[in-house]
């Protein structure tokens, strides 16, 4: 069963850090403030659904909720994980991505080399 391409069930799964996470050069808010891009959530071009999120948006979420980091999965990472810009408040990675899919299913689609440890 595939997840929906929009809505509450899609966004936690499909949203990604902005491609230039921590180095965003987004235009100032001079357009409709209800536009997601004006609030740190530009459309997710990589997946064609959901949104990307910016460093400033994540830091605001973490501070407002007293959290150290956002931990996420559902995105292939060359090392099996990725850590993004540290927050200024806690000096801890603001986002941590852990590769959470089944390797045999994802490897042919992604075309990336991952080490599989045999037991």
Domain count, the chain: 1
46 vs 2: CA distance, rounded Å = 17
- Residue 4 counted as domain residue: no
- Residue 88 counted as domain residue: yes
Give every CB contact of residue 72 below 8 A, 6+ residues apart in sequence: 95, 96, 97, 98
Q: What is the pTM of this model?
A: 0.68
- Residue 5 counted as domain residue: no
38 vs 49: CA distance, rounded Å = 17
- Check: CB of residue 32 under 8 Å from CB of residue 26: no
Instruction: Grade residue 69 by pLDDT with cuts at 50, 70 and 90.
Output: very high
- Residue 15 counted as domain residue: yes
Give the closest residue to 98 by CA, choosing from 114, 119, 68, 78. 78
- Residue 79 counted as domain residue: yes
Question: What digits encode the pLDDT tens for the residues 9-26?
Answer: 777 778 888 888 888 776
Structural domain containing residue 64:
11-110
């Amino acid at each position: 069963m595939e997840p929906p391409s929009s809505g509450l069930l899609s966004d936690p799964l499909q949203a990604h850090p902005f491609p230039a996470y921590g180095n965003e050069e987004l235009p100032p808010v001079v357009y409709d403030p209800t536009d997601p891009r004006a609030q740190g959530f530009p459309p997710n071009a990589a997946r064609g659904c959901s949104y990307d999120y910016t460093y400033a948006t994540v830091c605001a979420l973490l501070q407002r909720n007293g959290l150290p980091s956002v931990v996420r999965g559902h995105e292939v990472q060359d090392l099996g994980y990725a850590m993004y810009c540290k927050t200024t408040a806690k000096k801890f990675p603001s986002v941590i991505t852990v590769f959470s899919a089944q390797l045999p299913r994802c490897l042919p689609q992604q075309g990336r080399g991952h080490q599989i440890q045999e037991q």
